[in-house]
Structure 1
Amino acid sequence: MASLKLSPTNLRRANERGLGIRKLARQVGCRHTTIGHYETGYRTPSTSRLAELADALGTSLETFFEVAE
């Protein structure tokens, strides 16, 4: 059965079209290094932080996920 997996690459791609790491961090209330950690997969954002990121980037939560077999 397939499941959804958070994709740091998808977060990075969404942000490349958006605000830039520092401005995004300011909008969601965290440090730019934290955003960098999310984008590299070093840290995983909470569900509420994912919602804030999606809102700031003008996208849906589904953007950040991929299907894992």
Structure 2
Amino acid sequence: MNLIRTSIQFFKESYYELTKVTWLGKKEVVGTTIIVIIFVIIMSIFVSVVDLFLGTVVGIIL
């Protein structure tokens, strides 16, 4: 019985906390998504160039 009461109390408190959350608007979500996609593309290019460079250096050494 105590488990049920604590579970109900937990869900009530969780719901109350979610009512205080300020959600982003569509414009902000689209903007941050574009920034993340651009960052991922830049980082993947950077890692690819570093990998190519280090692979070439190791190939020369060996």
TM-score range, shorter chain: under 0.3
TM-score by structure 2 length? 0.26
Q: Which has the larger radius of gyration?
A: 2
Higher relative contact order (CA 8 A, sep 6+): 1
More helix by share: 2
